[in-house]
């Protein structure tokens, strides 16, 4: 199966898993999705992730995180889409919910958060918002 927007598929799987109260969701592997999962783990939005190989197929098993029965991730929004790419400079870097959420940005330094973009003084393509 070929997906037009694999990042949107990843965000949708996480969103649907949270709504259905699943403990884990499987996402087809790619390096950009792995780096996004690593950011979500480091920022405390997911409990963890693990790369699972079954023959030639690789998946990322994302362990979802809940507090008092509610999902830690309240919202996920895809910003830059295949039909409309959204780029920004470090001066115009958005603050998600006034700094309570994060923006995941693809930069020349790799896939990093908006806070790290300000620290490294680099802009890039805004992939998504997480809060």
pLDDT tens-place string over residues 21-71: 999 999 999 999 999 999 999 999 999 999 999 999 999 999 999 999 999
Q: What is the pTM of this model?
A: 0.94
Topology at the third CATH level for domain 6-71: Ribosomal Protein S8; Chain: A, domain 1 (3.30.1370)
Interatomic CA distance for residues 73 and 5, integer angstroms: 21
Domain boundaries, the chain: 6-71, 76-130
pLDDT tens, residue by residue, 85-115? 999 999 999 999 998 999 999 999 999 999 9
Phi, psi of 106 (to 5 degrees): -90, 115
What's the chain's length in residues?
131
- Axis crossing angle, helix 6-19 with helix 31-42, rounded to the nearest 10: 40
Predicted confidence band of residue 3 (pLDDT cuts 50, 70, 90): confident
The CATH number of domain 76-130, selected from 3.30.1180.20, 3.30.70.960, 3.40.630.10, 3.30.1490.10: 3.30.1490.10
């Amino acid at each position: 199966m070929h997906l037009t927007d694999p990042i949107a598929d990843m965000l949708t799987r996480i969103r649907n898993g949270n709504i259905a109260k699943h403990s884990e969701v499987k996402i087809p592997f790619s390096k950009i999705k792995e780096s996004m999962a690593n950011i979500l783990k480091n920022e405390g939005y997911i409990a963890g992730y693990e790369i699972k190989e079954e023959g030639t197929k690789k998946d990322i098993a994302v362990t979802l995180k809940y507090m008092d029965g509610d999902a830690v991730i309240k919202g996920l929004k895809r910003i830059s889409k295949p039909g409309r790419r959204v780029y920004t400079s470090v001066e115009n870097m958005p603050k998600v919910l006034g700094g309570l959420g994060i923006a995941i940005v693809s930069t020349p330094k790799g896939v990093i958060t908006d806070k790290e973009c300000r620290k490294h003084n680099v802009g890039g393509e805004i992939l998504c918002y997480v809060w």
